Amino acid sequence: MSLPATPRSAVSSPLPRARSASSPTRSSRLVRSLRRNYFYYLLALPGLLYFLVFEYGPIVLGVMIAFKDISPFDGFEGVISEPYVGFANFQRFFDSYYFWNVLSNTLIISALKLAFGFPAPIILALMINEVRNTLFKRTVQTISYMPHFLSMVIVAGLVMSVLTTEGGLVNQVVVYAGGEPHAYLTDPAFFRWILVGTTVWQTVGWGTILYLAAMANIDPQLYEAAVIDGANRWQQMRTITLPSISFVIILLLIFQIGNLLNAGFEQILLLYSPSVYSVSDIIDTYVYRSGLLEMEYSFATAVGLFKAVLAMVLILIANAVARRFGHTGIW
């Protein structure tokens, strides 16, 4: 015998109400909120104005520059008065002999940094989280944070010193092991891995901060219950720790995907050379040479706009995929 169907109203959301003349509309609710909280809005107003004038305003101007051919000496008036050239600057970039090379280099280097650089702080955070000795934990954290504070110029100098054939540490080890010294920085087979390795070394420590903070908020009772159920530390990590920090992982992954077109301009500019252009010249270094150094600001802006649009598309896709699989997105 089947049970009678339960009326929806008993268990599910309330029945939709018919709108009456006295129910507040969305706009009247907004007006009421403004009137009630007016000084909070006024407090926020200067900050909002700052972002409108100094952040969003330049974006609008920047978009205009991309569709014009301005001279760097015309100033603001040039931005307004110069005629539009349509998509000429974009076409110039797309028609470039090296367009596919710089685009593929950008995506490949970013993907490699993502593949190796994204899991690294998670793994390190999980390992640090398992350490019981507080002093040792703090020491490891402090040491791992330090490279983050070094400027890229210093890091590049360190990399060159370590890899040089004239007494560099790596080549000394190679020679000691019976090999021949090798100029790794000018070898296309090694250059991308040098970029990835340097980035991981510099960012792995700092990247653990958010994950460790998320892990600190995990209810210890979950671990106690798992121990009672006979779970070992690996199982606890897999079934409790990782799922608990998954929202942080997904959010940061979405941001990283949106950042896929920023492959590390400063790092590459300091380390690359003609020998390795084919594997290291990215959109930003290309624009630096052929746009900024030649004072072709309209062209440089157009390429920047292209990058921004592409990044936005990537973020939207990543966010949609994340929500599709039931995870929290950015919005």
Do residues 88 and 69 lie in contact, with contact meaning Cβ atoms separated by under 8 Å?
yes
Q: What amino acid occupies position 151?
A: S
- Does position 273 interact with another protein (CB under 8 A)? The reply is yes
**Part in contact with another protein (CB under 8 A); list of ranges 17-25, 95-103, 216-224, 308-316:** 95-103
Burial of 271 (0-12, 13-18, 19+ CB in 10 A): buried
Return the C-alpha torsion angle 268, 271, 273, 276, nearest 10. Answer: -70
| 200 to 239: interface string for another protein, x by CB under 8 A | ----------------------------------------
- Does position 244 interact with another protein (CB under 8 A)? The reply is no
In terms of CB distance, is 159 or 204 closer to another protein? 159
The residue from 24, 57, 86, 188 that contacts another protein (CB under 8 A) is 188
In terms of CB distance, is 211 or 277 closer to another protein? 277
**β-bridge partners, 84:** 68
**β-bridge partners, 68:** 84
CA dist 225 → 222, 234, 236, 239 (Å): 5, 15, 10, 12
- Does position 54 interact with another protein (CB under 8 A)? The reply is yes
**Part in contact with another protein (CB under 8 A); list of ranges 13-21, 118-126, 274-282, 313-321:** 274-282
In terms of CB distance, is 111 or 183 closer to another protein? 183
- Does position 306 interact with another protein (CB under 8 A)? The reply is no
Shortest CB 166 distance to another protein, Å: 6
In terms of CB distance, is 107 or 270 closer to another protein? 270
- Does position 74 interact with another protein (CB under 8 A)? The reply is yes
- Does position 162 interact with another protein (CB under 8 A)? The reply is no
**Part in contact with another protein (CB under 8 A); list of ranges 131-139, 196-204, 208-216, 283-291:** 283-291
Helices of type H across 186-296? 188-216, 220-228, 233-236, 242-244, 246-258, 265-271, 277-280, 283-287
In terms of CB distance, is 256 or 275 closer to another protein? 275
Answer positive or negative: Cα dihedral of 251, 257, 258, 259: positive
Answer positive or negative: Cα dihedral of 65, 68, 72, 76: negative
Among 185, 201, 205, CA closest to 144: 205
59, two tokens: 């974006």
- Does position 97 interact with another protein (CB under 8 A)? The reply is yes
Shortest CB 312 distance to another protein, Å: 26
Measured distance CA(183)–CA(27) in Å, rounded: 67
The residue from 130, 219, 229, 294 that contacts another protein (CB under 8 A) is 294
Measured distance CA(70)–CA(80) in Å, rounded: 9
- Residues that bind another protein (rule: CB under 8 A) add up to a total of 48
- Does position 176 interact with another protein (CB under 8 A)? The reply is no
Do residues 109 and 192 lie in contact, with contact meaning Cβ atoms separated by under 8 Å?
yes
Binding footprint of another protein on the chain (CB under 8 A): 36-37, 39-40, 42-43, 45-47, 49-50, 54, 71-75, 92, 95-98, 160, 164-167, 181-183, 185-186, 188, 270-275, 277-278, 281, 286, 289-290, 294-296
